[in-house]
Structure 1
Amino acid sequence: MKKLFPVLVLAATTLAGCETDVNLPEPEHTPRIALRYLLSNATPTQQSEAMQAFNQLYVSHSQRMFDARPLQGRPDATVEILDATGTVVERFRQATNKQWQTYPRPRYEPGYYEPTMNFAAQPGQTYTLRGRLPGFEAVESQLTMPARPQIERATYTQRPPGDYGQLRGRLSLVLTDPAATADYYVVIGKLYDTQGRPYGDLMTEDTNTEFGNVGETFTLSSLYNDYYSSLAPYPDTNVNGRQFTLSSNVVSSTSYGGSNVPVPAYLELQVLNLTADAYKFYQSRQRYQDTEDNPFAEPAPLYSNIRNGYGFFGGMSGTTYRIQL
């Protein structure tokens, strides 16, 4: 939580041209568990490395408003996922660094956990998360997994390459939205070479699309565990129960350098449908970041759906569509 009270006091006294000290009483606080986790309809072993890191369970706890110590994660949590019958379908253990993993770094940053049962949630089914920490009240949250996105077709039309030879094109994606539910779509694009190896990411070119805005253009998302501004979900508010199209000019990023760069062979689109709670959390996180270092901004609290605690338990169901280049 931002420490706004001292900043506001300083700003107020500076503007008034006085040096009056104001003592503010600290609000009462009961320490509670804080966690985040995103449940997927794909098993962890089926998820990409970026997706595994993005979904990773993190457990910490709250602290007093005026406590300036860096908040640390907790390595001693017990967290389980249960299905509608009360059967435990997933358990977690402390995470270990993978060879590819640069962020987060569980070895140096406690609080990260990895699943042990390789569970994949089923769309339409209800699941409960339960978490415990020694000395804290247990927490719980429940969700119903959203339907998998229904992709009708997708096309990619090549455009002239960029100034540095990047692959550029026009992407168009047609989805059919179910009428009975509220849906929140995320689209991720990746390129692969002829050997099926990652070639690079596909990004929207020259866009100012705001979070949650569906218009004539849309923004591809990227998965970064601590940079939620790279996530661009689209609610079905204006397209509920209808077929709709998302289109965008896109450009590639590549991890290759030098000469003899391989040619990308195909484009893979991953379309995700988020639960409403996940959408609200990421939306609140974006608003929180937008107010950073602004003492006069309106409060931007983070959305939470954890009973007796803080954080969020969200779900996502995904569909993959491949386009040959």
Structure 2
Amino acid sequence: MKTFLWLLLATAGALVGCESVVSVEPPAHTPRLALTYTVTNGVARAGNWQFYGDARDLYVSTSQSVLATKKLAGRTDATVELRDAAGQVVEQFRAVNRGLYNNDTLRGYYVPTRGYVGQPGQRYTLRASAPGVEAVEATLALPALPTLGAGSFVPDSPTSSSPYNNPTGRLSFAVLDDAATADYYLAYARVLDANGQPWGGVYQDNSGRDNQGPDVNLNRFDLSEPGIFYQTLPVSDAGRNGQRLVYSGKVRFYYNPPSGYGNHPNPPAPAFIEVLVSSIPVDTYNYYLSVQRYYDTENSIFAEPAPLRSNVPGGYGLFAGASDVVLRIPL
């Protein structure tokens, strides 16, 4: 017994004094095309990217290793085509730089050249290629248009006559869901002036909401936040097929003219709230859920892995669809 204890102690002492360095090779990475694009039945307008953020325009880059430290940059040499179910090219794109305050230094963005408007119920294929990487191709069917019920806005008691006072009130509207299908939706809202020109954004006022618990709630109908990609908030009709999906919440809107912030001594009066509800494919729904999980967990070393979903075979990213219906509510 004493001999055994001596051997055990000797072995433990040897292990304490032992130090090893193990070299681990990083996983091999093959650069691939990475892109995002949303085909819609809406007409592309200048300034849409400021409203939707990066959620709808075409952006193309090349993937890089998870251990790479250089800043990811978009590429301007991609060839991208949108084809219909018959294989006909219905849209092509050209590269444009983008930036704020006339500083157009962000590369990788593209604008359509034909102004094609997507047709709900039709299938589309997005094909993209660029030098040095494999070409990619993704397909989807644009969903049927959503059916909206009536909407209303009940303002809070005003505290000032200035439009800069960020008016608040309760916005309500409903989506009349189809009981026969699984459906997925997005909702945005903005304010227009009497001429139908953009006046500003509408934002959920969550000051009275219980913020204890996870940010991702699959049963909650939220407004997506204009211009904030990771605040694109989809909702599913799972468990309530055929029932009305009702949004009713306190919102706040801010004056933000197309010309940008600055001195606007005589701003026009807000005249309408424009609610935009989109039917989206399930791949689009799952992608935006994964974006929320990613941003909710990226700063925690104890979080579960939160990989971004992709529906671009041979590459990375999202080929999305959105069938839009607009409801305009007088203020």
Cα distance per residue 1:29-58 (max 9 Å; x no partner): 222111111111113148845248531111
SS state of the match for residue 100, structure 2?
Answer: coil
Which residue is 2:260 aligned to? none
CA distance in 2, matches of 1:275, 1:40: 12
TM-score, scaled relative to structure 2? 0.82
Number of positions where the alignment pairs a residue of Structure 1 with one of Structure 2? 300
Q: Match for 1:160 among 154, 157, 161? A: 157
2:236 equivalent in structure 1: 235
- Paired with 1:72 and 1:297, the residues of 2 have a C-alpha distance of 28
Matched, 1:113 2:118: no
8 Å Cα contact 2:233/2:289 also seen in 1: no
Q: Rate the CA distance shift 1:250–1:293 in 2: closer, same or farther, 3 A.
A: closer
Contact 2:148–2:176 under 8 Å retained in 1: yes
Contact 2:97–2:107 (8 Å) recurs in 1: no
1:148 aligns with 2:145: yes
1:213 to 206, 210, 218: 218
Change (3 A) 1:64 1:229: closer
Equivalent residue, structure 2, for 1:102: 100
Contiguous gaps of at least 5 residues in structure 2: 1-17, 258-262
**Cα offset for 1:241?**
2.0
C-alpha spacing 1:103/1:65, structure 2 compared with 1 (3 Å): farther
Please, which of 297, 316, 325 is the counterpart of residue 291 of structure 1?
297
**Which of the two has higher C-alpha Rg?**
2
Structure 1 181/67 Cα, relative in aligned 2: closer, same or farther at 3 Å? same
Matched, 1:172 2:178: no
Aligned partners of 2:312, 2:92: CA distance in 1, in Å?
Answer: 18
Report the CA distance between 1:261 and its aligned residue. Answer: 4.7
Q: Secondary structure at the match of 1:150?
A: coil
User: Which residue number in structure 1 is paired with residue 254 of structure 2?
Assistant: 253
CA distance 1:196–1:26, change in 2 (3 Å)? same
CA distance in 1, matches of 2:47, 2:279: 15
Matched, 1:222 2:213: no
- CA deviation after TM superposition for structure 1 residue 240, in Å: 1.4
The answer (yes or no) to whether the contact 1:212–1:235 under 8 Å persists in 2 is no
- Give the superposition deviation at 1:204: 1.4
SS where residue 151 of structure 2 aligns? Answer: strand
1:260 is displaced (CA, Å) by 5.0
Deviates more, 1:136-145 or 1:180-189: 180-189
Matched, 1:321 2:330: no
Aligned-pair CA distance for 1:288: 1.2
In structure 2, what is the equivalent of residue 11 of structure 1?
none
**TM-fit CA distance, 1:295:** 2.7
1:76 paired residue number: 77
Bigger shift: residues 60-69 or 162-171: 162-171
Cα shift readout 1:62-107 (whole Å, capped 9, x = no counterpart): 222322222221111111111110001111111245xxx62997x4
Aligned pairs for 1:35-114 (under 5 A) are 35-45=35-45, 48-49=48-49, 50-51=51-52, 54-97=55-98, 102=100, 107-114=104-111
Q: Structure 1 residues 238 and 104 mapped into 2: Cα distance closer, same or farther (>3 Å)? A: farther
Number of the residue aligned with 2:5? none
Query: Secondary structure at 2:149's aligned position in 1?
Result: strand
The answer to whether the 8 Å contact 1:153/1:175 transfers is no
Deviates more, 1:281-290 or 1:159-168: 159-168
What's the offset of the Cα at 1:24? 1.8
Mapped to 1, the partners of 2:280 and 2:314 lie a distance apart of 23
User: Which consecutive residues of structure 1, in runs of 5 or more, have no partner in the other structure?
Assistant: 1-17
1:314 CA drift (Å) = 0.7
Aligned to 1:23: 23
SS at match of 1:287: helix
Q: Residues 228 and 286 of structure 1 are in contact (CA less than 8 Å); yes or no, is this contact kept in structure 2?
A: no
User: How far 1:22 moved relative to its partner?
Assistant: 4.2
Query: 2:237 touches 2:245 (CA, 8 Å); kept in 1?
Result: no
Using a 3 Å threshold, how does the CA distance of structure 1 residues 95 and 281 change in structure 2: closer, same or farther?
Answer: same
1:133 aligns with 2:134: no
